[in-house]
């Protein structure tokens, strides 16, 4: 990605100029990304001119916003190579995964197995753990290697005719390790299992095409890709969605209901109970359409990976520092510990120096237990608006924090 392109893209994030003026660095995009200017413009335009409900009115405002909402669905579908009716708007990744763990129940029976990995976020662990205990299924957890990558031979050994759901993250939110889905998915396809991809971290830095990936379901959150929080996406193969019962019921989900009988609407209406986050969907679609037209995701990942490499080079001289995960297979995340220092103490002192990053277990307690990390890890995560200046600030901040903590 050339520097001018990044410079222009940086200008599309109003909070960046606000933070630049205050000398602040934002290194927490894996938690939530900053928002693009088009998000603000879209929300402003709707609130000033077009407020109305969708699929619930005959008047001109409702018809207009319904058309915009359905266009947003098509734009989101286009971004990941899906069909519009394969896109269900959710609140976030977590809701998408809870949706699946509930709606896929009808395909499961006692003794079936669900396979996840040791690197899953709690959102891709707890729903399956609870489903397994509720239906008496076996939850298999594929191990990671010493480099915190998925142990693919061990993963393959856990696949069997009993495996009915495989759910895994594309990128670890703790180590930044990228799972090679092009190798993993064909292994799963040898079984009759459904494949669920948690794309919460990859959606903003890897171009995704659900057909090329050959997954059955994919979930992500708008807030991790420069859009509002409260809007998320569940992609599901049409043939499967048609057979699945709704996750929630209520307004908008039926063709016909009587006191004794319910006839569900087709997907996606059947899955979108109640008034959705209309303006969130419209803003997300605007962002994704912009990115699709203007941004090369290979360059995005290169830019972010380069910042991660430069950070590692810059910080590696610090006494006691240890980086998480494989150096050769990191995305936009650099996590580390410093021997003898609690991660929260570091993050607290860095925050005082206007560096925003995250410390702790990052909603991945089983992974931290596996890595024997009792006091959490510090995570710096990079996005298109980050620059080498942020790395300099991080290094200076860290050296100062250690002076304070070791004094
Ligand atoms: N999965 C991964 C890999 C994540 O990193 C996150 C959030 O950080 C989630 C799931 C949950 O996302 P959300 O909180 O937007 O539902």
Alpha helices in 175-235 (DSSP H): 181-188, 210-213
What pLDDT sits at residue 378? 97
pLDDT in tens, 57-104: 889 999 999 999 999 999 999 999 999 999 999 999 999 999 999 999
What pLDDT sits at residue 201? 98
What pLDDT sits at residue 407? 81
- Report pTM: 0.97
Q: Ligand 1 pocket by C-beta < 6 Å: which residues?
A: 92-94, 121, 123-124, 169, 173, 198, 200-201, 221
Mutate to test the pocket of ligand 1, among 29, 33, 93 (most ligand atoms within 8 A of CB): 93
Give catalytic status of residue 364 as yes or no. no
Q: Using alpha carbons only, what angle is made at residue 170 by residues 164 and 176, rounded to the nearest 5 degrees? A: 140
CA 350 / ligand 1 centre spacing (Å): 24
Whole-angstrom distance, CA of residue 250 vs CA of residue 231: 19
Cα 165 to its chain centre, rounded Å, is 19
Mutate to test the pocket of ligand 1, among 225, 363, 379 (most ligand atoms within 8 A of CB): 363
CA 221 / ligand 1 centre spacing (Å): 7
Select which of 205, 215, 363, 364 is catalytic: 363
- Please state whether 203 falls in left (phi above 0), alpha (psi between -120 and 50) or beta: alpha
Helix, strand, coil percentages (3-state) for the chain, rounded to 5, are: 45, 15, 35
Whole-angstrom distance, CA of residue 171 vs CA of residue 160: 24
What pLDDT sits at residue 277? 98
What pLDDT sits at residue 366? 95
* Ligand 1 atom nearest to CA at 171: 3
CA 262 / ligand 1 centre spacing (Å): 34
Mean pLDDT of the chain: 96
CA 65 / ligand 1 centre spacing (Å): 29
Which residues of the chain have a pLDDT value below 50?
Answer: none
Whole-angstrom distance, CA of residue 353 vs CA of residue 401: 9
For residues 280 and 230, the answer to whether their CB atoms sit within 8 Å is: yes
Q: Using alpha carbons only, what angle is made at residue 21 by residues 16 and 24, rounded to the nearest 5 degrees? A: 65
What pLDDT sits at residue 406? 85
Strand pairing report for 217-221 and 232-236: antiparallel
């Amino acid at each position: 990605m050339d520097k001018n392109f990044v410079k222009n893209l940086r200008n599309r994030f109003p909070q960046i100029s606000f933070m630049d003026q205050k000398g602040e660095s934002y290194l927490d995009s894996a938690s939530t990304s900053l928002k693009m200017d088009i998000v603000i413009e879209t929300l402003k335009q709707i609130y000033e001119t077009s407020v109305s409900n969708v699929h619930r009115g005959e008047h001109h405002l409702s018809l207009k916003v319904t058309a915009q909402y359905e266009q947003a669905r098509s734009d989101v579908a286009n971004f990941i190579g899906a069909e519009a009716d394969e896109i269900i708007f959710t609140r976030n990744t977590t809701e998408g995964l809870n949706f699946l763990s509930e709606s896929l129940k009808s395909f499961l029976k006692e003794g079936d197995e669900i396979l996840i990995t040791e690197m899953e976020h709690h959102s891709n662990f707890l729903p399956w753990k609870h489903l397994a205990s509720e239906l008496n299924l076996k939850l298999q957890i594929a191990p990671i290697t010493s480099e915190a990558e998925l142990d693919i031979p061990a993963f393959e050994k856990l696949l069997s005719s009993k495996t009915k759901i495989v759910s895994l993250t594309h990128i670890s939110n703790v180590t930044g390790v990228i799972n090679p889905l092009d190798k993993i998915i064909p292994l799963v396809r040898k079984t009759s299992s459904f494949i669920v991809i948690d794309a919460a971290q990859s959606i903003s830095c890897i171009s995704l095409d659900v057909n090329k990936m050959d997954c059955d379901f994919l979930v992500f959150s708008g807030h991790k890709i420069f859009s509002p929080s409260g809007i998320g996406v569940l992609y599901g193969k049409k043939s499967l969605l048609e057979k699945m019962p709704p996750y929630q019921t209520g307004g908008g989900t039926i063709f016909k209901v009587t006191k004794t009988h319910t006839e569900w609407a087709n997907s996606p209406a059947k899955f979108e109970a109640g008034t959705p986050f209309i303006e969130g969907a419209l803003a997300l679609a605007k962002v994704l359409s912009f990115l699709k037209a203007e941004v090369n995701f290979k360059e995005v990942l290169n830019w972010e990976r380069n910042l991660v490499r430069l950070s590692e080079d810059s910080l590696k001289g610090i006494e006691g520092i240890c980086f998480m995960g494989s150096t050769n297979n990191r995305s936009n995340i650099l996590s580390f510990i410093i021997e003898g220092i609690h991660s929260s103490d570091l993050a607290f002192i860095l925050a005082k120096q206007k560096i925003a990053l995250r410390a702790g277990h990052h909603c991945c307690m089983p992974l931290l237990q596996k890595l024997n990390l009792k006091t959490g890890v510090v995570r710096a995560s990079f996005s298109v608006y980050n620059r080498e200046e942020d790395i300099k600030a991080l290094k200076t901040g860290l050296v100062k924090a250690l002076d304070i903590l070791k004094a």
